[in-house]
Every structure is written in structure tokens, then in C-alpha cells.
Chain A
Amino acid sequence: GAVVSQHPSRVICKSGTSVKIECRSLDFQATTMFWYRQFPKQSLMLMATSNEGSKATYEQGVEKDKFLINHASLTLSTLTVTSAHPEDSSFYICSARDQRSYGYTFGSGTRLTVV
């Protein structure tokens, strides 16, 4: 089945620094990938839609300049959390849809802790 690889799985960074998270579709091409944020005991919140070769589409309330998304190829999207602050600490998950199957395939998630 479709596989989405996400790295790193855990990262701890200092306040004010930037962190890059990678999301790769391993066995299919994804013109569109999606980035979610999940707080403890809460559901997934869509942050943005990453479009290959064009600008990402951000959901209302998500800061474009803080969460930079790049989708440079059909198998890779990156999310960069810039000037991270403790309130950015969360679980970030990407997903993509393989046209050959139903539903969406999710990455394993990245737990970001900003200290």
C-alpha cells in the first residue's frame, strides 16, 4: 500500500530557531500533500495544503510566515517552523492521497518540542 515517510519523528529545538520537517511519498507521486497539527487528546487540525510547483494554501488562522511550506517535487513536501516558540510545540503530521487507493495515507508524525 501507499507509504508516507515523515522525518524527524522527534525534535527538540531552542526558542527562536527554525525546524524543518520532511514528508515523502515513497511509492507514489503526490501533487498535493497536507499538513496537520494535533494537540494532546484533540483531533487533527488541517494547517495547509501543499501543492507541487505552486504556493501552499493555508487554513484560516495559520500564519504563512511562521509555517513555511515547500513542495519542490512530486514526492517531497517540507514544513519549516520559523522562529519557533514554546506554543508551537505540538505533533505535526503530513498526509497524501495515492490515486490508486482510497482515503489518505498519513506520515508517522513529528513531535516538536520548543524549549
Chain B
Amino acid sequence: QKEVEQDPGPLSVPEGAIVSLNCTYSNSAFQYFMWYRQYSRKGPELLMYTYSSGNKEDGRFTAQVDKSSKYISLFIRDSQPSDSATYLCAMSVGPTGANNLFFGTGTRLTVIP
């Protein structure tokens, strides 16, 4: 079983739709949860960073962590064509040490104008 599972998609939605992206994980010790956005042929950029359970909102983006279910989500409201990218979830036990950072496979999202 992989440490982090993420549906690779692809996911296509019309402009303005609400997008829900999800990851599940198996290691209950994960405490730090991140969402990265990666455009084609580019490196990932950090979108959201959360610690432990709860919600975090930043503009049109909301990250949710449910540690009891080992499930994290990223919601995108009023999706735009510029949101078309691959979204990667990542998580770690501690705040540092990339050798303990586990990535999902990424979900490819296309927002259709």
C-alpha cells in the first residue's frame, strides 16, 4: 500500500465550478499537509500548508484535513481556466526533512472556459 493515494484524474470541469481534490494516507503520524500546483513542464508551487486537522482558507482555495479518516481535501471555488494544472498533495511527519515528505501522484485538472 502506498503511503499516499491520490486519484490521478484527469478531471475536467466547466469554468466557475467547485472543484474537489482528495488524498488518502495510511500513516497516522503525518502532521503536516501540503497542496502543490504544478503547471506543465514547471516545478510544483506551494498552494496550501496546514498542520494537523482542520480547515484553512486562502482566497478561492480551502484545504481540509480529517486525521481521523486519514483524508485531506482541496476545494477550489469559482474555478478558472488558469487553475488548469496538476495538483499534488504532500505530507510529512515533521516540518522539515524532505526525505520524509510523501507526495501523491497528482490529479490533472482542466477547467474549460
Contacts and interface: CB of A to CB of B under 8 A. Distances in A.
A12 interface: no
Contact of A43 (B43, B95, B103, B108): B103
Contacts of B45: 106
B104 A49 contact: no
Contacts of B29: none
A4 B42 CA distance: 12
B88 interface: yes
Contact of B98 (A4, A42, A95, A111): A95
Interface residues of B, number: 22
B88 A103 contact: no
Interface of B is mostly: mixed
B19 to A, nearest CB: 19
A95 B98 CA distance: 9
Given A44-B88, A109-B41, A103 B46 contact: yes
Which size class do A's interface residues fall under? 20 to 34
A46 B99 CA distance: 7
A41 B86 CA distance: 9
Pick the most buried of A57, A104, A108: most chain B CB atoms within 10 A of its CB: A104
Contact of A108 (B6, B42, B106): B42
B41 A44 contact: no
A63 interface: no
A103 B105 CA distance: 18
Contacts of A42: 105
A35 B39 CA distance: 19
Interface of A: 4, 6, 9, 32, 34, 41-44, 46, 49, 57, 59, 91, 93, 95, 97, 102-109, 111
6 contacts: A41-B8, A42-B105, A44-B103, A106-B36, A106-B44, A109-B43
